[in-house]
Amino acid sequence: MAATVHVIARWTARSGKEEELKAVLTALVAPSRREIGCYQYDLLLNPADPRDFCFVERWDGEAALQQHAATPHVKAAREQAQPLAEGPADVRTYHIL
């Protein structure tokens, strides 16, 4: 049985690009939640910093996460987010101990 993978992916919007980045990231939620192996896919906004977005994800193993990363909607979002964000997403994966 594959180990569940937890992901924290943080994005920081460029100043003045918060709403545009929010739209790009929000568009990922519905198709990602429909993917096989997706247990959780939530987009959070830091109330103290409207430029700080965070995905909290839970996947049914590394294979499901890799399939997610290869989907057209994720690839398109990365391209669209690039000029709106201060840099690439800070993506970290975790396993329960």
5-88: CATH number: 3.30.70.100
Decide: pTM greater than 0.85.
Answer: yes
Predicted pLDDT at 54: 98
pLDDT tens string for the chain (97 positions)?
468 999 999 999 999 999 999 999 999 999 999 999 999 999 999 999 999 999 999 999 999 999 999 999 999 999 999 999 999 999 999 999 8
**Rounded (5°) CA angle 37-85-87:** 85
Domain boundaries, the chain: 5-88
